[in-house]
Structure 1
Amino acid sequence: MAPIISEINPHLLEGLDPENRGLCTLEATVVTGLEEVACEECKEKLGANCVVARGRLFIDVNPEQVPEVLKLRSIDNVNIVLSMVKNFSFPSEREKCFEQLYMLAEKPDWKKGMEVWRKTLGFEEEPIKEEKLLTQDFCQPRPDIDLKMMKSTSQIVNNIPRALLPKHLKLDEDGLAKEDEVQQPEENDSVEENKEVSHTLDYCLSGPKFRVSCNRTGSGHIFGSPEAARQFGAGINEKFNWPVDLKNFDLEVILYIDNEFVYVALALTREALFKRNLTNFGRTNLRATLCYNMVRLAAPKPGEVVIDPMCGGATIPMEGSLTYTKSFHLGGDNFGQAVKRSRDNIDWLVKKGNSMPIDVAQWDATKLPLREQCVDIMVSDLPFGKRIGSKTDNRVLYFHALLEMARVTRIKTGRAVLLTYDHRSMIKSIKRVHTLWKSGASRTVNVGGLSAVIYILHRTSLLCDTGLRKDLKNKEKSSPVSPGGSATN
């Protein structure tokens, strides 16, 4: 498992040195659990130095290589890191913390970072026209606005003085939040907040419109994420006279706080890179970046046939056909609407000028209309048993699907890369077909907050296990199995 971010040594990242204009440090967010796969792609295509942390990579590249980083298939978002502090000690007084966060705007290497941001996003103006020294101690705190969305389960509720907490966070004598005192958003708060923004916009005459997004983790802080963003944003506003716009912004500044580990970055992606390829969405669409990583784990070779027997919206076959163009990719599903959605998605990509060795069909994943030993690789997102199917159905479906995959997959060289959240059903099914499939490495990944697993299986040299086939036929006679195989991804 990749180390947590606070274990990173900033000195390993040469691009953070303000004097080194030939390198900049980028943060690339990736699917948690697949950091090493993304790192391999980065080294293979860019030859760059990568530092791996949980859910992200830090990459040192030449500023001219940034467009190439944005073309990587395994990363979700890209930010340029301006500064990174490993031991950022926060005082025990809120006012002192606010002062630190406000003055933090003085530390980053804004010029190098903003130049990369301007070239990447095509901002026409020169963003930094003047710099001022910060003269105030900190911005006036507004806990009535900044803390009103905080939940009573937050780790830092008990760290904040009771007098500053909104009504819905104040505890009664039994230590429970009073449900009847949940604070509703008041019109006065919105008016006052809008006045502050309007005043800032009138005062700041030029430069990119910006906002600060704070991602904070840790239980020892005595301030909330919005409070940290307010103070840091106020420091940026005074330093550069940039206008603040929380919705229609040009520039997003990211402040990351993990206990005493702090770094500042600028977003280089307006929209997450995994939102590609699809125009027609199902209920359980898989991220394109996760699809690419699964296909990469299968390592298709030229001329090999790659099949997704439960393709849903064809996210996996499309990503495979766009990146491994010398292999043939085929998807299928038993749900007619999913097949139609797949064709629409493929047609949209073809109209954009993509030449894709791909096709889709409607079939039952437990009874594939394919001859034996004709497929090289199976890559599929199996039903989790949450939105699609159930864990009871999965116990039957997984076993039948693995048997059918073994029938059509080449012995010895065939392999399968399968994703599922239903670990128990999958492990039981793999044990039942151990004569046909040899279990290899597995990777735990974060899929929408669920801890799913990617299983890598290798086809054994046994052509067919007659005992399993007889057992299957006997069970079909006693209780017929309904067709399966819809993932709607």
Structure 2
Amino acid sequence: MSAIQERSDHQRHEGEEGSNLAKQLSDTITVTIGATVPTGFERTAAEEVNEKIGADARISKDRGRIYFEITTENLPLIHHLKSVDNLFVVVEEYTNYQFKDQKEEALEDFQSLASKLPWTNPLEVWRLNNSLKKKRWRRKGGNGGKARASGKDRVEAVTAETENLQLESGTPERGSGEPEGDPAFNGTQGELDKNTEEQEEGSVDPLLKFRVTCNRAGDKHTFTSNEAARDFGGAVQDFFLWKPDMTKFDVEVLLNIHNNEMVIGIALTEESLHRRNITHFGPTTLRSTLAYGMLRLCKPQVSDVIIDPMCGTGAIPLEGAIEWQHSFYLAGDNNDMAVSRTVNNINHIHKKRRDKGSTAWGLPINALQWDLCRLPLRTGSVDIIITDMPFGKRMGSRKKNWDLYPSCLREMARVCRAGTGKAVLLTQDKKCFAKAVSKMGGLWCKVVTVWVNIGGLHAGVYHLKRTGAPFGTTPEDVREPRGDNETAGGAKED
């Protein structure tokens, strides 16, 4: 009978916690969410935010960031955005912060800033976001013992864990600036287990670990990023009595400084979202967020045939097959290792879907090996061509690009539908590409160019449209046989 009574009390306790979660979601809070996006695709990300969340996003002066307002009831929707790398909730934003001219005075401002900030709502959003992340993780079967519980039990268990994080946004009642507990705590497994048990029993408040990350841009600051993070982090530690930890932290406070603009936020993502579909990486794997931006640029339609003739690991067609399932995708490459990586990444997505209980037949995508300059496709059979072309650095060379780019643009024009076909091509070899496009003026016309930053490289995403001229009727279509070229070249050298 005692066991039955204990189980009844436990169920009643879980029911109370579940009602508390429902109450928290009903008590909506409006906050500002910040998102880092691939530079150059800020407008594309803003369009996605408006489409999926219904919020109007504004683009920051600092390239690569957008901001939008949401309520806590729409918080789960931000994790469905595909064009963002990282998400954070804004604590405070200063559009024209007056940094002191003297280094010591500027750092003193950071030390006094923490106690003046409105932490309450952002920390509440951070806590609710943690419960959402844990709930998704448990649905994937992360913990063997707890994964066998019912869905309701898992949600309520997550609620119980997150409600134990008593985050005080006001000045702590304790006057001492030292953290609670043993200062010699070394994080051993036994101490962690004991601390966890005490937290679950509600006997003590958990000691949160945190770190401050400063991202600074501008040449008029008298302080470095490390100095700003150090002094501001010390003030945060004194204010909340949290424990600093640079690696195993619970809360990551962000200090983003761009000239006179400063934004303080709390991170909502633990790692960048750009690797979501790739498990087998190559030497130049494209970020999934950038692939999504390129796909949105060409606006795939129902029944479109879309090819990536230099697919690498298949990041672009995989992203398209998942997000625009009404089109069909062909991923090809001349390198057998690249095709193998693409096939493995496709199989990984299939496995993930099966593990989640999906009954879908699969993805509208296929992978094959081919020669880019002699595609095994009919003339005018492709609607969209989208690819990441070799920059001539890690893959290929600048010298080879002068021959490769005109040849591939000519072959792309052959397989692309005249008048309606489109191409979205990414390259950092801008001079060579511009020359190749000018040579193919009768087959391609440039629509727009989006300038992006890829690992410090200034690259361009070129949106081209196929002209209405049928292939074979313009001077650009003439191509001398490869054997004749090689023979002539050899004779010239001799």
TM-score, length basis structure 1:
0.78
Aligned counterpart for 2:55 among listed residues 48, 51, 67: 48
* Counterpart position of 1:76: 85
Distance, in Å, in 2 between the alignment partners of 1:134 and 1:105 is 16
Q: Which moved more, 1:204-213 or 1:364-373?
A: 204-213
* Counterpart position of 1:347: 347
- Report deviation, 1:229: 1.2
- Report deviation, 1:469: 6.6
* Counterpart position of 1:174: none
Contact 1:217 1:257 in 2 (8 A): yes
State the AA in 1 paired with 2:87: V
Deviations 1:344-372 (A, max 9, x none): 00000011117311010000011001111
Contact 2:410 2:477 in 1 (8 A): no
* Counterpart position of 1:444: 451
**For residues 123-142 of structure 1, what are the structure 2 equivalents within 5 Å?**
124=162, 125-129=164-168, 131-132=170-171
**For residues 363-402 of structure 1, what are the structure 2 equivalents within 5 Å?**
363-402=370-409
Alpha carbons of 1:296 and 1:380: their partners in 2 closer, same or farther (altered >3 Å)? Answer: same
Alpha carbons of 1:87 and 1:296: their partners in 2 closer, same or farther (altered >3 Å)? Answer: closer
- Report deviation, 1:21: 5.9
Contact 1:48 1:61 in 2 (8 A): yes
* Counterpart position of 1:244: 244
Aligned counterpart for 1:421 among listed residues 398, 418, 428: 428
Structure 2 gaps of 5+ residues are 1-26, 132-160, 192-203, 354-359, 489-494
2:42 aligned with 1:35:
yes
- Report deviation, 1:92: 3.5
* Counterpart position of 1:473: 480
Question: Size of the alignment, in residue pairs?
Answer: 404
Q: Per the alignment, in what secondary structure is the counterpart of residue 275 of structure 2?
A: coil
Contact 2:172 2:240 in 1 (8 A): no
Deviations 1:361-411 (A, max 9, x none): 000011001111111110010011110001111111111111111111111
Q: Per the alignment, in what secondary structure is the counterpart of residue 320 of structure 1?
A: helix
Q: Which moved more, 1:22-31 or 1:359-368?
A: 22-31
**For residues 172-211 of structure 1, what are the structure 2 equivalents within 5 Å?**
206-211=206-211
Deviations 1:431-454 (A, max 9, x none): 111111122111111111111111
Contact 1:197 1:245 in 2 (8 A): no
Contact 2:43 2:59 in 1 (8 A): yes
- Report deviation, 1:63: 1.7
Q: Per the alignment, in what secondary structure is the counterpart of residue 81 of structure 1?
A: strand
Give the root-mean-square deviation of aligned CA atoms: 2.7
State the AA in 1 paired with 2:99: F
Alpha carbons of 1:473 and 1:65: their partners in 2 closer, same or farther (altered >3 Å)? Answer: same
Alpha carbons of 1:474 and 1:110: their partners in 2 closer, same or farther (altered >3 Å)? Answer: same
Contact 1:380 1:417 in 2 (8 A): yes
**For residues 455-474 of structure 1, what are the structure 2 equivalents within 5 Å?**
455-466=462-473, 468=475, 471-473=478-480
- Report deviation, 1:424: 1.2
Alpha carbons of 1:374 and 1:36: their partners in 2 closer, same or farther (altered >3 Å)? Answer: same
Deviations 1:117-174 (A, max 9, x none): 11112262324147427999x99xxxxxxxxxxxxxxxxxxxxxxxxxxxxxxxxxxx
Q: Which moved more, 1:293-302 or 1:120-129?
A: 120-129
Distance, in Å, in 1 between the alignment partners of 2:393 and 2:32 is 39
Aligned counterpart for 2:128 among listed residues 98, 119, 124: 119
* Counterpart position of 2:72: 63
* Counterpart position of 2:140: none
Q: Per the alignment, in what secondary structure is the counterpart of residue 249 of structure 1?
A: coil
* Counterpart position of 1:233: 233
* Counterpart position of 1:98: 107
State the AA in 2 paired with 1:330: L
Deviations 1:174-220 (A, max 9, x none): xxxxxxxxxxxxxxxxxxxxxx9858999x97332100111122333
State the AA in 2 paired with 1:462: A
State the AA in 1 paired with 2:88: N
Alpha carbons of 1:198 and 1:480: their partners in 2 closer, same or farther (altered >3 Å)? Answer: farther
Contact 2:307 2:329 in 1 (8 A): yes
Distance, in Å, in 2 between the alignment partners of 1:436 and 1:259 is 45
Distance, in Å, in 2 between the alignment partners of 1:407 and 1:286 is 26
TM-score, length basis structure 2:
0.77
Distance, in Å, in 1 between the alignment partners of 2:477 and 2:288 is 39
